[in-house]
Chains A and B, each alone.
Chain A
Amino acid sequence: MNIINIEHIAKIYQVGMEQVHALRDVSLKIDKNEYVAIMGPSGSGKSTLMNMLGCLDTPTSGVYDFKGVSVSEMTDNELARIRNKEIGFVFQTFNLLARSDAVHNVELPLIYAGVPSAERKERARQALIDVGLGDRMHHKPNELSGGQRQRVAIARALVTKPAIILADEPTGNLDSKTGEEIMALFLEIHEKGNTIILVTHEEYIAEHAMRILRLRDGLIEKDELVERRFIPKARETIL
């Protein structure tokens, strides 16, 4: 079944007298347990598309069905619920709460989901262990390295067991070795059955995915399967 089904979506921003066509006419289907990379030059509409997919933004025109339900007909509270339960966001700039430690940052979506305290703490801990930060539970963001911060953010995205993970340039602020570690983590998450969509500028990062979507000027230029997936070292070939 398609988790995501987009048909002829457009997003137009009005800047003063001028209209900016961030997305012109995008149609797209994404299945469960797919791993999609979105590429394209700066300003081609990658982030706009991601925000749309994550129910953070609504299209100017077109249809978006998430798990068979039309997003444009959802109320504000329903959108908040989808973002909370079904979608895990990972940002380029981490977006952690500076004054909270790792556990509390990971707990946050569970608070909005109404999970009781004890269970919340337990699940947050487990998520941190899963991303390899079992020994950094009570560190604040400024006491963590960039890669570790991104792992906290990934744990936060995973903790609600969402249907899809959306990552907008998750390695953009990291050096290539740390980026590699994060990609290995995504691979692991994908192998556990998650659906992942990520935006990147790096060809080799994109080649971790199964499918690459190339955008240009708000249109899908190319939608291709990856023939030779890039498998991080210390791993067997998957294909």
Chain B
Amino acid sequence: MTSMFLELREGLTIAWWAIRANKIRAILTMLGIFIGVTAVVLMSTAIKGIDNSLQQGVSSLGSDVLYIDKWAWFSNEEWWRMRNRRNIEMNDYYRFKDLVKLPLAIAPVSNTVQTIKYGDRKVEMVFLNGSTSDYVKTTNFDFSAGRFYSDIESDGARNVAVIGSEISSKLFPRGDAIDKTIKIGPVNYKVVGVLAEQGSTLLGAFNPDNQVFVPLGTIFKYFASRNMRSITINVRAANPEMLEATKDEAEGIMRKIRGLAHNEPNDFSINQQEGLTSFLDSITIIIKIAGLFITGLSLFVGAVGIMNIMFVSVKERTREIGLRKAIGAKRRTILTQFLLESSVICLIGGIIGLIAAILLSFMLNQFFPTSVQYDVVILAIVISLLTGVVSGLAPAYTAAKLDPVDALRYE
């Protein structure tokens, strides 16, 4: 046991010397592992980041909400078939609202894209959501200041607005948005509420943080005439378990409202988060496989480099190996020594790669969601050690089975 430990320590010392004696060569080899490990760490942090961000984004849609729309979010149907559907109009909404019993809340939504201004600050291409005061009940919004617009403001189509956290921080860096008058397009609105951050950088314009919410009546008044555009009806089930029942009810009632015969297909779609989740899942799986392939490839190249260097190292030190055997080193000892050498090279390269990747991912975080987790640290270390052992195995084995006499004779 003590001899094992001594041999291990001696092996480490020898490895360290061998590396130091050939610094440039070792550094070039480490570069291969460095790039591989950096790629692995970056890729896995990026994937985690995308996952987290999508998860947040999707959950901000609410798992218990249905979106009755002219368009299906994900569908095999040709888009022109959907385009030829009749619009969903406010009258559909009123009749729907009268007939349904199950939902917790229902809100008609119409949106347009507008520029929002305050003084000389402005945010362009903002999703402007028009709805009723019930809209807030179909979401999980929290407010960092103020409130959602009221029934009276909604019914009276008052010029009041609730703004997302990012809009707020862009227009009101000091956080004093409430009661200020902003310009949406050419129209003045008073800010009555600011949403707390919902937090999903990936969803972009679809993220509530980047949106503005106003009474539906004002949308029709200033931005779009009442029957020009199809609205969406947001329906929130009483709880997630009731989602299917609520969906069945909604489908039946919509068919009735739209006067569809038995053999006619739906001329509307009922969308929900689930479809989005599975769609996003399929995208992230593609990203993951591609990432795995690329990082695997770069690691493989690094490993081949190490193997090459280790073979050279064994050749160069043939006499030394012969001597060590002549004075009592066992095969196992020689094997361990060279495995340690390749592992040390890989570990050093891997640790530098890990540090680089962490720094890089902090930098990237400005533009792109990343998330460094410490299982990644363990992953990087395990991968570099594994690469070291795997790529060192063949050269180490060659060294271990050298014949001592031949090795000592080697010129």
Within 8 A of A (CB), among B130-146: none
Interface string of B300-332 (1 = CB under 8 A from A): 000000000000000000011011111111111
Query: B176 in the interface, Cβ–Cβ < 8 Å?
Result: no
Query: Is B2 in the interface zone, CB < 8 Å from A?
Result: yes
- Check: B21 CB closer than 8 A to any chain A CB: yes
Q: Knowing A97-B320, A111-B10, A114-B2 touch, does A80 contact B408 (C-beta < 8 A)?
A: no
The B interface, classified by DSSP as helix, strand, loop or mixed, is: helix
In the docked arrangement, what's the CA distance between A160 and B325, Å? 15
The complex places the Cα of A56 from the Cα of B328 at a distance, in Å, of 10
Please state if A108 and B324 are interface contacts (CB–CB under 8 Å). yes
Q: A111-B10, A112-B7, A116-B2 are in contact. Are A99 and B17 (CB under 8 A)?
A: yes
Q: Which residues of A contact B289 (CB under 8 A)?
A: none
Q: Which residue of A lies closest to B406 (CB)?
A: A57
A85 near B328 (CB under 8 angstroms)? Answer: yes
B6 at the interface (CB under 8 A from A): yes
Q: Min CB distance, A57 to chain B, in Å?
A: 5
- Please, which residues of chain A bring their CB within 8 A of the CB of B333? 112
Q: Which B-chain residue is minimally distant from A81 (CB atoms)?
A: B328
Are the C-beta atoms of A83 and B326 separated by less than 8 Å? yes
Binary A-proximity of B326-347 (CB < 8 A = 1, otherwise 0): 1111111100000000000000
Supposing A56-B404, A57-B405 touch, asked if A113 and B3 sit within 8 A by C-beta, the answer is: yes
- Cα A60 to Cα B380 in complex, Å, equals 50
Decide if A95 is an interface residue (CB 8 Å cutoff): yes
CA distance A33 to B249 in the complex (A): 106
Tell me whether A80 and B328 are in contact in the complex, defined as CB-CB below 8 angstroms, given that A112-B333, A114-B2, A116-B6 are known contacts. yes
Which residues of chain A in 70-85 are interfacial with respect to chain B, using CB atoms and an 8 Å cutoff? 76-77, 80-81, 83-85
Please name all residues of chain A whose beta carbon is closer than 8 Å to the beta carbon of B21 when the two chains form the complex.
99
Task: Tell whether, in the assembled complex, residue A77 and residue B6 are in contact, meaning their CB atoms are under 8 Å apart.
Answer: no
16 contacts between A and B (CB under 8 A): A57-B404, A77-B331, A80-B330, A81-B328, A83-B327, A83-B328, A84-B327, A95-B323, A97-B320, A108-B324, A112-B3, A112-B329, A112-B330, A113-B328, A116-B2, A160-B328
Query: 4 closest Cβ contacts across the A-B interface?
Result: A84-B328, A114-B3, A112-B328, A80-B330
Query: Which residues of A approach B to under 8 Å, CB–CB?
Result: 51, 54, 56-57, 76-77, 80-81, 83-85, 89, 91, 95, 97, 99-100, 108-109, 111-117, 156, 160
